[in-house]
Amino acid sequence: MTTASRRLAPGRIVLASHNAGKLREFDELMAPFGFDVVSAGALDLPEPEETGTTFEANAELKARAAAEAAGLPALADDSGFCVAALDGAPGIYSARWAGPDKDFAMAMRTVAEKLSAAGVAQAEGARASFVAVLCLAWPDGHAEFFRGEVEGEIAWPPRGDGGFGYDPMFRPDGHTRTFAEMSSQEKHGWSRTGPALSHRARAFQAFSAACLERA
């Protein structure tokens, strides 16, 4: 991994994702910095197979593939929902638990069923976290990584219709509502000077400090 930070000038950047929810979040996060965010899906770039065994490895695979194909800097996110009583599962396999149809209602039921099978009396209140790793890759091969995590507990049954993925079943520490019950601004909990709340916003805050913000 390359550790030296490289400043990113405003302009076009590829979000190495076909996920509409992620594109919406990154559009909101990047807007104050003057970037034109275009998704890999909009550019008709293929999705590389995620063969990595860590969030960092999978983020790098996606970012490098998009940067090389588009000839532009590319930002990739690999994130997952990690349940303590399930030894961190689904983790890097969070999207796969939703199946080819991206059925996250099914994925959330699977989490509850696996907790029951593991001897957890009820899903409500079980400890969990969200993890996000961002990789910024350049066409010349330079890459940087930024990690964000947020701790909390499972809400069961799931609540709220905002956000995406496992958001309806995650209640961050210090809050009474799930991510899916919050507005996107509340979920991010982020500004250039304030603290971040979500895992993705925390990773983005580290990324923006290293690569976007100017003195």
pLDDT digit string (tens) for 86-129? 999 999 999 999 999 999 999 999 999 999 999 999 999 999 99
Beta-sheet strand order (sheet of 127-137) = 36-39, 12-15, 74-83, 127-137, 143-154, 170-172
- CA angle, 41 as apex, 135 and 161 as ends, to 5°? 85
Higher pLDDT, 170 or 26: 170
Residue pLDDT, tens place only, 187-201:
988 766 668 999 999
Tell me how far CA of residue 21 lies from CA of 30, 75, 163, 164, in angstroms.
14, 15, 7, 6
pLDDT for residue 4 is more than 70 = no
Record the tokens describing residue 145, joined without a space. Answer: 């990584």
Q: Is the Cα torsion angle 203, 205, 211, 212 positive or negative in sign?
A: positive
Q: Is 78 considered catalytic here?
A: yes
What is the residue-averaged pLDDT of the chain?
Answer: 91
Task: Report how far residue 172's alpha carbon sits from residue 175's, in angstroms, rounded to the nearest whole number.
Answer: 6
In the set 27, 77, 78, 87, the catalytic residue is: 78
Q: 12-211, which class in CATH?
A: alpha beta
Query: What are 154's two structure tokens?
Result: 């499972």
